[in-house]
Amino acid sequence: MLAIPLVGLFNGLVEGRVFTLTWLLQVNFGYTLDLWVVAFGIVAMWEFGTRLMHIDGLSDVADALGSYAPPPKARAILADTNSGPMGVAAIVFSVAAQIIGVHAMMQRAGSTHLSDAGHFPASHFPTSAVIGLILVPTVARISALILCTEGYRAANPTGFGALVIGTVPKSGTTAWTIAAAIAAFFGGGVLWTLVALAVIALAIPWARHCSRRFDGLAGDCLGATIEIASAAAIVLFSLTA
């Protein structure tokens, strides 16, 4: 689990290259490409790259928390493969927030449509936007790492969560958090550093809330954390870019 932020880093590098390719096509060839299309493609790659597992976790957790049921019943809802209205709404809001955030991030590096040849001079490579796209999935997985840190326990002793929850030393989580904060500083200065730290820190009360409601944490909680943290990070990065 200590390596899970590397998965986010890999995903971020892929999405950063997608935006870099968009920029290069516009600068060198004047190729027109709507940033909404690029934003949709980037978020789709984030989601389908993990076989929609995190969206599924978000849906299950939203339904379980929204039921206000006691822990045994809430855990049964977590295990249900069907999505209720709360789960569907959570997916829609999360994906929409991510698409809007990615679009806003890229828009700050140029125009709504990359249609004017030379609008992005080669000397003005949108480094900040690329770093932001790399950071988002990385920070999201560091947030999920919080739920796997020592001190938390799994709600189901036989599920996926039991394999990873409570297994990560606090020093490992701290090291990844510091690394993310440093990278955020180079991407957007002090504001981005504070955003990265805030998103990761918010995983602590979130983990405690889920642990209390489910009498322990489940694997679905990790997926939900990644989705929520991704949406929060990209929106806040775009607002402070």
What tens-digit pLDDT sequence spans the chain (241 residues)? 999 999 999 999 998 888 888 877 776 666 667 788 888 999 999 898 888 889 999 999 999 999 999 999 999 999 888 888 999 999 999 999 999 999 888 887 654 444 444 444 455 677 888 899 999 999 999 999 999 999 999 998 888 888 999 999 999 999 999 999 999 999 889 999 999 999 999 999 999 999 999 999 999 999 999 999 999 999 999 998 7
Tokens representing 201 are 């820190």
Residue 240 buriedness (CB in 10 A; 0-12 / 13-18 / 19+): middle
Residues sharing a CB contact under 8 Å with residue 150, sequence separation 6 or more, in sequence order: 166, 167, 168, 169, 170
Count other C-beta atoms under 10 Å from residue 219's C-beta: 22
241 alpha carbon, distance to own chain's centre: 17
State residue 157's pLDDT score.
Answer: 85
Tokens representing 72 are 């045994």
| Cα torsion angle, 192, 198, 201, 206, sign | negative
Alpha carbon distance 198, 200 (integer Å):
5
State residue 83's pLDDT score.
Answer: 86
| Amino acid letter for position 99 | I
The model carries a pTM of: 0.91
